[in-house]
Amino acid sequence: MTYSYMSLSSEDFNDLSAIEICAVDVSRWFVENALLLNPDKTEAVVFGTRKRLPQLHLSRGIDVSGTRIDFAESIKLLGVVLDASLTFKKYMLDVVRGCHFYIRALRHVRPLLTLDAAKTFAVAIVSSRLDYCNSLLRGTSAVNLDRLQRVQDVLVRVVAQAP
């Protein structure tokens, strides 16, 4: 998997030709190194503030190896969903949904487990999902943090068999 990153200054924020030039350079590098770039698996996203993003003209997309790539609202990178404004809202929803799936499974088998076994399951399966890439969430919204806190609260109640 190949990633290419670049920043745009304020002056050329609306000039996305720099992104296309970068895509051409990446394509050329692939060819020169006897590799194949699959445009069908290529994604492009522009990160910016909620105020600046609507000012961009992203409807035309970019050309990568003769294929038009539309700009996405978000991309998934190493399991983390990065949205264009970096709010992490979709990522939080995915994490919470996944955690609740395993918490429901734990709730069903909890009467059969010792307290230590339930704690081990909770840390290994659920808490590890909450902790994965949590450093990215520094400065995230209170709503996102509240979602994570509620998952932890539910997990503790299930492990402790509390109402």
Q: Is the distance from CB of 151 to CB of 103 less than 8 angstroms? A: yes
Residues 108 and 140 in one domain: yes
Residues 55 and 95 in one domain: no
On the question of pLDDT at 153 being above 90, the answer is: yes
Q: How confident is the prediction for the chain on average, in pLDDT? A: 86
Residues 95 and 40 in one domain: no
Q: Identify whether 2 is part of a domain.
A: no
Q: What is the pLDDT of residue 20?
A: 79
Report the alpha-carbon distance of residue 51 to residue 125 in Å, rounded. 38
Residues 61 and 109 in one domain: no
Residues 26 and 60 in one domain: yes
Residues 104 and 41 in one domain: no
Q: How many Cα atoms occupy the beta-carbon half-sphere of 50 within 13 Å? A: 2
Q: Which residue range is the domain that position 105 belongs to?
A: 88-160
Q: Identify whether 82 is part of a domain.
A: no
Report the alpha-carbon distance of residue 153 to residue 112 in Å, rounded. 21
Residues 27 and 51 in one domain: yes
Residues 156 and 93 in one domain: yes
Higher pLDDT, 29 or 23: 29
Residues 94 and 149 in one domain: yes
Task: Write out pLDDT tens, residues 109-144.
Answer: 999 999 999 999 999 999 999 999 888 888 889 999
Segment 132-157 mean pLDDT: 92
Question: What are the backbone angles phi and psi of residue 7, rounded to the nearest 5°?
Answer: -115, 150
Q: Identify whether 114 is part of a domain.
A: yes
Task: Write out pLDDT tens, residues 56-105.
Answer: 767 777 777 778 888 888 999 899 999 988 899 999 999 999 999 999 99
Q: Can you give the pTM of this predicted structure?
A: 0.75
Count how many domains the chain has.
2
Q: Identify whether 10 is part of a domain.
A: no
Residues 152 and 113 in one domain: yes
